[in-house]
Amino acid sequence: MASEIEFRLISPTEATQGRAASQAPGPTKAGEGFGAQLTQAISSLDGLQTEADGQANAIAKGGGNLHEVALAFEKADVAMRLATRVRNKLVDAYNEIMRMSV
Partner 1 sequence: MDFFTALHISGSGLSAERTRVNLASSNLANAETTRTAAGGPYKRLDPVFQSVAANGGVGSGATPSTTGETEPLGVRVSTIVADPTPGKKIYSPGHPDADGQGFVMMPNVNPVHEVVNLLSASRGYEANTTAVETLKQMAAKALDILR
User: Residue from 10, 36, 60, 71 that binds partner 1 (CB under 8 A)?
Assistant: 71
Report, in angstroms and rounded to the nearest whole number, the Rg of the chain calculated over CA atoms.
20
**20 residue type, one letter:** A
Using DSSP, state whether 81 is helix, strand or coil.
Answer: helix
Q: Which span (7-15, 32-40, 51-59, 60-68) binds partner 1, by CB under 8 A?
A: 60-68
Element (DSSP H or E) covering residue 15: helix 12-23
Beta carbon nearer to partner 1, 21 or 102? 21
User: Residue from 86, 90, 91, 93 that binds partner 1 (CB under 8 A)?
Assistant: 86
User: Residue from 17, 65, 93, 94 that binds partner 1 (CB under 8 A)?
Assistant: 65
Percent of residues in the chain assigned helix, strand, coil, to nearest 5 = 70, 0, 30
DSSP annotation of 63 reads -
Q: Does 68 bind partner 1 (CB under 8 A)?
A: yes
Beta carbon nearer to partner 1, 65 or 100? 65
Beta carbon nearer to partner 1, 5 or 100? 5
